[in-house]
Amino acid sequence: MKTIALIAHDGKKAEMVAFVKDHIEFLKKAHIVATGTTGGFVQQTGLDVELKLSGPKGGDAQIAAMAAEGKIAGIIFFRDPLGKHPHEPDIQMLMRISDLYNVPLATNPATGSLIIAGLLD
């Protein structure tokens, strides 16, 4: 079973829930790990979710560590490109780790759908 990480900034959490609902049958076939707050919202869809810390409290870094260890097949991270985020260094580190270890990273629903299709079909 492949592991997919889900992360969404506050302004994108509703979009993440809608995305999960649209792809629920595929996501049921995966192990889902998520940052704390995002994961709480995703759990409301009925999916089992392994919760990490919230992003600002280190959740992004926890997921990056999992990616570096080869434990994550793909990351879906709906970022708010217009918002200011106090944990921006962690966000940049997650993106760098994704590039360094060749882990697919989607930052919007269109690329998220492609990751799901590629990993779970």
Domain harbouring 40, CATH code: 3.40.50.1380
pLDDT confidence bin for 70, thresholds 50/70/90: very high
Which positions make up the binding site?
Answer: 9, 13, 35-38, 54-55, 87
Which positions make up the binding site for substrate?
Answer: 9, 13, 35-38, 54-55, 87
pTM, 2 dp: 0.94
Biggest CA–CA distance in the chain, Å, is 36
Find out whether 87 and 63 touch, Cβ atoms under 8 Å: no
Tell me which of 72 and 89 has the higher pLDDT.
72
Count of domains forming the chain: 1
Angle between helices 88-100 and 59-68 (to 10 degrees): 10
10 is catalytic: no
> What Rg, from alpha-carbon coordinates, does the chain have?
13
Reported in sequence order, the residue ranges of 10-73 that DSSP labels E, i.e. its strands, are 31-34, 49-51
Q: Which helix (H) or strand (E) holds 6?
A: strand 3-8
pLDDT of residue 19: 98
Residue range(s) defining the domain that contains residue 55: 3-120
pLDDT digit string, tens, across residues 99-112: 999 999 999 999 99
Pick the catalytic residue from 60, 80, 90, 99. Answer: 60
pLDDT digit string, tens, across residues 9-66: 999 999 999 999 999 999 999 999 999 999 999 999 999 999 999 988 999 999 999 9
